[in-house]
Amino acid sequence: MNDEEARLAERLARDLERVLRTGILIEDLEIEGDGPVSIRAACLVDGRSNEILGEGETVQDAIGAFIGAAARLRQDGAFWQIVGPA
């Protein structure tokens, strides 16, 4: 990973933490391709292992898809806390 990719990964990790808030642990973050681009993160959210994937034709497209997927994961987690198993 070059310096630019490392900075992008750090920025994505910070963005991911803002979207998912507390209770997450990012285990792995990968950025692959020059176009199309794939961003994948393995993380622990509220004690459950999850994978977040964002894909797009450009890095910006992939970032948007990635953050959107993280937001859906957070929403699913909040829903599960409300209606989870009794």
Number of neighbouring beta carbons within 10 Å of residue 68 = 13
Using pLDDT thresholds of 50, 70 and 90, give the confidence band for residue 57. very high
Q: How confident is the model at residue 14 (pLDDT cuts 50, 70, 90)?
A: confident
Quote the CA–CA distance of 16 and 35 in Å, as a whole number.
22
- pLDDT higher than 60, residue 69: yes
Domains in the chain with CATH codes: 3-78 (3.30.160.740)
Token representation of residue 84: 């989870």
Residue 14 phi/psi, 5-degree rounding, is -65, -45
